[in-house]
Amino acid sequence: MINVSIIGTGNIAYHFSNVFLKHHNINLIEVCGRRKNIPSYFSSRVNYCDDVSKISKSDIYMICVSDDQIEIISNKIKASSKSLILHCSGSTDMKALSNYCNYGVLYPLQTFSVEKNINFKKIPIIIEGNSKDSLNKIENLASKLSENVLKASSKQRLAIHVSAVFANNFTNYMRVVADEILKSNDIDPEILNPLTFETSDKLKYLNSKEAQTGPALRKDINTLKKHLNLLKGSSYHKIYETISNEIKKINYEL
Amino acid sequence: MINVSIIGTGNIAYHFSNVFLKHHNINLIEVCGRRKNIPSYFSSRVNYCDDVSKISKSDIYMICVSDDQIEIISNKIKASSKSLILHCSGSTDMKALSNYCNYGVLYPLQTFSVEKNINFKKIPIIIEGNSKDSLNKIENLASKLSENVLKASSKQRLAIHVSAVFANNFTNYMRVVADEILKSNDIDPEILNPLTFETSDKLKYLNSKEAQTGPALRKDINTLKKHLNLLKGSSYHKIYETISNEIKKINYEL
């Protein structure tokens, strides 16, 4: 049985608490946050503490706070020399935790919202440890959560995080723009759902370069002009132009 | 029974030919293209003609050629005054076909590749007709293909097409960039598949603004700096900066 505590009460802390509560070989000791009370979306079975300097003893402390708070918060934990301190950030160097004897990273490559349940088993988990012993312990924990565990350096993890920003945050933003264009033309954005689904489903059969279509790839100048004309005066004009210019380059590279 | 002919041998022509062949109340008369022989990915049950001026008589001619060829090709069809001439382009005004008595648009809002089968029933089809009678005929055909038929003006259709470029072409390009970043760091791009799936699945539960996450939305300046630093010198730097600056604005609007 592994004893684990979570520091933080945001989206990732919430999803970790749920997967830990469900697992027979993991014992969720405590969730710790700055707020006086734990947010209501957490399970009532969770013990809560509002002062990180008073956190209960645990085998593993998972720091699930914003990147710029990781180093500050971690240094308040009074952990024994046997404990393992982990953060779960994509872009923070493991060394942010180097005040401790045993430390590392357990970064789940997924987008988390409290409102949406997730099957942890399929989420790739990227791990890194300060020693062979730490890495073994992290791998042991990660493999209880997911079937897809990958060791990577802090630099590789940063590259994975940037790529995830493109693949998730930026793709989602493209849909935000699409929805706004439709709404301003009195069309229900839900009309795009089959297209959005197909766009991601296609990647099971084709790689992203093969799946690329559209007027920029075809260098269809007339259509590009019509689209830019429709977007004139909005901030979407620049985005359309920037991305289309990049897509035009794809053909040459293939 | 409706007699339909297709002009064109690309992705959309191919998918239309398949759905017409399967339908009991639609008779696919002919596919017509510039090549001497029909591409091998078409069914062997399809009649083929390589000269559009000699195309057989049909109730409906579906023009599935590139946007800049629609007007040129359509004027070569020797159609009777009772025939209906349609194009299936998102960004071409219906009037490109105004040389004919009966004309209109049947635009399927989807991304098509020959390599990937598609369930036509779920694809939104946007229609427009030059008269009530034409529109009725187009609606009749469209509703045989899909459960989701929408009437829209040429201007609205152009807005739908621009939004589809953002929702499909640009989101897919974001994945192209992500894959390139991963490959140059010795990581298999398949690691992103669960994230890409979740990004589109989320939109069943949340709207795109609610689903937005990431360092730009959080205004996490340190992470943005680390990411831009990693992308320095590549053309992805400008895309990252442009889109992140736009995402930063979302909070104020909500």
ipTM comes to 0.89
What's the Cα-to-Cα distance from B19 to each of A91, A196, B10, rounded to whole Å? 47, 21, 15
Q: What is the mean pLDDT of chain A?
A: 94
Interface test with A, best of B156, B208, B220 (most A CBs within 10 A): B208
* Confidence (pLDDT) at B254: 42
CB contact under 8 A, A195 and B240: no
How much is the pLDDT for B117?
85
Contact present, A164 and A109 (Cβ < 8 Å): yes
Torsion of Cα atoms, A145 then A150 then A156 then A162, to 10°? -50
CB < 8 Å to A171, chain B: 170-171, 174-175, 196, 199
More confident residue, A115 or B140: B140
Domain extents for chain B?
Answer: 2-152, 157-253
Distance to chain A for B165, nearest Cα, Å: 7
Minimal CA separation from B79 to chain A, in Å: 27
Average pLDDT over residues A22-45: 96
pLDDT of residue A251: 66
Cβ B161 vs Cβ B139: under 8 Å:
no
DSSP secondary structure, B99-153, as one string: TSSEEEEEEE-S---TTS---GGGS-EEEEESSHHHHHHHHHHHHHH-S-EEE--
User: How does pLDDT run across A199-210, given as a tens digit for each residue?
Assistant: 988 888 889 998
The DSSP letter of residue A111 is: -
pLDDT given for residue A117 in this prediction: 85
> Residue B31: is its pLDDT beyond 90?
yes
Are B189 and A173 a contacting pair at CB < 8 A? no
Q: Which residues pair with B85 in a beta bridge?
A: B61, B103
Amino acid symbol at B131: S
Query: Is the CB of A185 less than 8 angstroms away from the CB of B68?
Result: no
The pLDDT assigned to B253 comes to 47
Arithmetic mean of pLDDT, A114-140? 94
Taking 60 as the threshold, does the pLDDT of residue B252 lie above it? no
Q: Is there a common fold for B2-152 and B157-253?
A: no
For B114, nearest residue in chain A (alpha carbons): A211
Supply the pLDDT for residue A186. Answer: 94
Q: Which CATH superfamily is domain A157-253 in?
A: ProC-like, C-terminal domain (1.10.1040.20)
CA distance A246 to B242: 13
Residue A252 has pLDDT above 80, yes or no: no
Higher pLDDT, A15 or B253: A15
Nearest Cα to Cα of residue A162 among A91, A92, A87, A110: A91
Three-state DSSP class for residue B97: helix
Q: CATH top-level class for A2-152?
A: alpha beta
- Residue A181 CB-half CA count within 13 A: 32
Is the pLDDT assigned to residue B99 strictly greater than 60? yes
Residues of chain B contacting A177 with CB distance shorter than 8 Å: 163, 166, 246
Query: Residue B197 CA to chain centroid, in angstroms?
Result: 20
Q: Are B140 and B1 in contact (CB under 8 A)?
A: no
- pLDDT confidence bin for A2, thresholds 50/70/90: very high
pLDDT for the residue numbered B139 = 98
